[in-house]
A and B are shown apart, each in its own frame.
Chain A
Amino acid sequence: MDNIAKTAKSRKRWSAWLGLIPFLVFCLAFEIVPILLLLRDSLLLKDGGMTLSHYGDALAPLYLKSFINSIKLSGLTAIIGTVLGVFIGYAIYRWPNKRVQDFLVTLSDVTTNFAGAPLAFAFIIILGSNGVVTQFLLQYFHWKIYPDFSVYSFSGLTLAYVYFQLPLMVLLIIPAFAGLRKEWRESAFNLGADTLRYWLNIGIPVLSPSLIAGFTLLFANAFGAYATAYTLTGSRLSLVTLQIGFTIAGEVLHDPGIGQAMAILSLLIMGSSIVIYQIATNRARRWTRN
């Protein structure tokens, strides 16, 4: 190729990037630059010097509690969601009737729309102190769930979060089961393996990227959640997202630096789970692609 053609080609390619400018400018203006400025501000003192003191303040006992609560809530509901989701997903995957399978997948799909404030309120209806399920358990099983349980507390929030975690895991894991090929199972049994050995040596290793992807996605999903917690607990339970929300809405007098540091820390926690999710998903795709 002679030089002129080469220059023309590279100029063409270079000019092709111009077509991306409107999109990139939008992303920079309303996503990337504001986040970077937030990072900068979280490291600045009022007089302009650099400091890590906001981070120290954000991890003082009062706010550390909200991180612990958020991580506990996200971790617990992600574990429950992953474990239950895998078993339910497998039950759906192995269900002999295709119609029932399709119905259950559609149910999972539709119920993922039921989140946030409507979901929180639905749990108040069924599990509030006069809720339907509360009364049902009392009348038929003489089981008084209050005051040990409260829908407005950590336990209630856990049940509500599991509601949106479960269908998500089911939708995520069913394609992974489809990636476990029949031939592997047959060959394993022909070679003398029993069910346990099959799952330990083939099933679980093949599924593990999907399991990790599922867990991290569920964790991030719960960690970033705001509306459900806001509606259900208000300010009764301290969570990171609620605290950051208070900083913005100005309901509680905060040092803005603490809010910024909390935001960057939660960005790190959620961002790293999404990175792990992405790596695991790419690995899982090796099995599910064909």
Chain B
Amino acid sequence: MKQKPSVSQVLLILFFILYMVIPIIATYVFSVATRWDRTILPEGYSLEGYTTAAQNPYFFKTLRNSLVLSLSTVLVSLIIVVPTVYWVHVRLQSAKSLLDLLMILPFGIPGVVLALALVQVYNFQPLSRSALLLIAAEVVFTMPFMYRSVSNSLAAVDISTLTEAAQSLGADIKSVLLEVIVPSIFPGMLSGSLLVFATVFAEFTLARLIVGAGFKTFPMLLVEYTRIDGTIAAALSVISFTVAWIASMLILWVGGKGVRSTQDIVKAK
């Protein structure tokens, strides 16, 4: 039976699409517009926003800083979260509720509060206001994403039976780890890493408040330009959004169906 959508349904969906799409399209168009403050459509188009942005020495510096920050966070997160999740699944089921609780915690802590707490406690060198402290904060902040992705992919395979089977066939711990465990949770590690990467790459609050000008990240440069030059700010927005967009496409492609729960979508605003 093929029904037709009702008028109110069509209007609601149309409103939704317009509301969601107009700001994005406007940003893309603004980034290539020469002047767009007197007319409905831009007066001309050029790529000057991008070329001027790239001429600023800070452009590549902040891009590099953000890449280093995101990749380090992913690495630390993998090292801390993956063995723990595995351990709890296989050896310590009773700790699962404790872990679940710890993973909800970051959602209840505003970014500014975490930043304030960390800055006040770690007010000594070498941690004080350092990139290292920022990495730790970002790991805490994005931990639920990594945890959920890995935990869901672990739940999908019977890891203890697989481990026992491998061991009874004479496999040692190293080959159990490399040939049984890692391959079965690899998709979860990958989508968790992408999610963490994209979140940290766009994260502004912790980066600005914990380190500030000492370690300028890409979103910080973007905010700076919103007050100086609109076209360049739009170009930087486009780059930032495109990175996030590629990451979420990759996550869908990795087969993250069901990996993300709604809770995981809550990010730094």
Which of B19, B37, B110, B140 lies in contact with A163, CB distance below 8 A?
A: B19
22 residue pairs A–B, Cβ–Cβ below 8 Å? A23-B81, A30-B136, A30-B139, A35-B109, A38-B117, A94-B5, A96-B3, A107-B21, A117-B223, A122-B26, A161-B269, A163-B20, A166-B20, A171-B265, A222-B269, A224-B109, A224-B110, A224-B112, A225-B269, A226-B111, A267-B108, A278-B104
Query: What does DSSP make chain A's interface, helix, strand, loop or mixed?
Result: helix
A231 interfacial by beta-carbon distance below 8 Å: yes
In B193-209, the 8 Å CB interface with A consists of 198, 202-205, 208-209
A112–B24 Cα distance when bound, in Å, is 12
Which of A95, A133, A263 lies in contact with B113, CB distance below 8 A?
A: A263
List residues of chain B with CB within 8 A of the CB of A34: 114, 117-118, 120-122
Which of A20, A109, A130, A273 lies in contact with B265, CB distance below 8 A?
A: A109
Tell whether, in the assembled complex, residue A274 and residue B104 are in contact, meaning their CB atoms are under 8 Å apart: yes
Closest Cβ neighbor of B101 among chain A residues: A278
List residues of chain B with CB within 8 A of the CB of A183: none
In A90-113, the 8 Å CB interface with B consists of 91-92, 94-96, 104, 106-113
Residues of B with Cβ closer than 8 Å to A?
2-5, 8-9, 12-13, 15-17, 19-24, 26-27, 30, 36-40, 80-81, 83-84, 87-88, 91-92, 94-95, 102, 104-122, 136-137, 139-140, 198, 202-205, 208-209, 212, 219, 222-223, 226, 230, 233-234, 237, 240-241, 244-245, 247-248, 252, 260, 262-263, 265-269
A-B contact count (CB 8 A): 272
Closest Cβ neighbor of A121 among chain B residues: B226
The CB with the most chain B CB atoms within 10 A, among A106, A125, A217, A281, is that of A125
Tell whether, in the assembled complex, residue A19 and residue B92 are in contact, meaning their CB atoms are under 8 Å apart: yes
Q: Flag the segment in A192-200, A201-209, A243-251 that touches B.
A: A243-251
A87 interfacial by beta-carbon distance below 8 Å: yes
Tell whether, in the assembled complex, residue A230 and residue B223 are in contact, meaning their CB atoms are under 8 Å apart: yes
**A234 smallest CB distance to B (angstroms):** 8
Tell whether, in the assembled complex, residue A114 and residue B226 are in contact, meaning their CB atoms are under 8 Å apart: no
A123–B4 Cα distance when bound, in Å, is 34
A52–B73 Cα distance when bound, in Å, is 38
Contact indicator per residue, chain A 217-260, by CB within 8 Å of chain B (1) or not (0) = 10011111111101100000000010011011100000010011
Size of chain A's interface in residues, with CB distance under 8 A? 96
Closest Cβ neighbor of B237 among chain A residues: A118
List residues of chain B with CB within 8 A of the CB of A227: 204-205, 219, 223, 268-269
A117–B87 Cα distance when bound, in Å, is 39
Known: A91-B5, A115-B267. 9 other contacts (CB 8 A): A22-B84, A30-B139, A35-B117, A37-B121, A168-B265, A220-B107, A227-B223, A244-B112, A270-B108
List residues of chain B with CB within 8 A of the CB of A94: 5, 9
Tell whether, in the assembled complex, residue A107 and residue B20 are in contact, meaning their CB atoms are under 8 Å apart: yes
A100–B124 Cα distance when bound, in Å, is 55
List residues of chain B with CB within 8 A of the CB of A113: 198, 202, 241, 244-245, 247-248, 267
Residues of A with Cβ closer than 8 Å to B?
13, 16-17, 19-20, 22-23, 26-27, 29-35, 37-38, 41, 87-88, 91-92, 94-96, 104, 106-126, 130, 132-133, 135-136, 139, 161-164, 166-168, 170-172, 217, 220-228, 230-231, 241, 244-245, 247-249, 256, 259-260, 263-264, 266-267, 270-271, 273-275, 278, 281
List residues of chain B with CB within 8 A of the CB of A244: 110, 112-113, 116
Tell whether, in the assembled complex, residue A26 and residue B80 are in contact, meaning their CB atoms are under 8 Å apart: yes
List residues of chain A with CB within 8 A of the CB of B219: 116-117, 227
Tell whether, in the assembled complex, residue A118 and residue B266 are in contact, meaning their CB atoms are under 8 Å apart: no
A132–B38 Cα distance when bound, in Å, is 9
Which of A31, A172, A228 lies in contact with B114, CB distance below 8 A?
A: A31
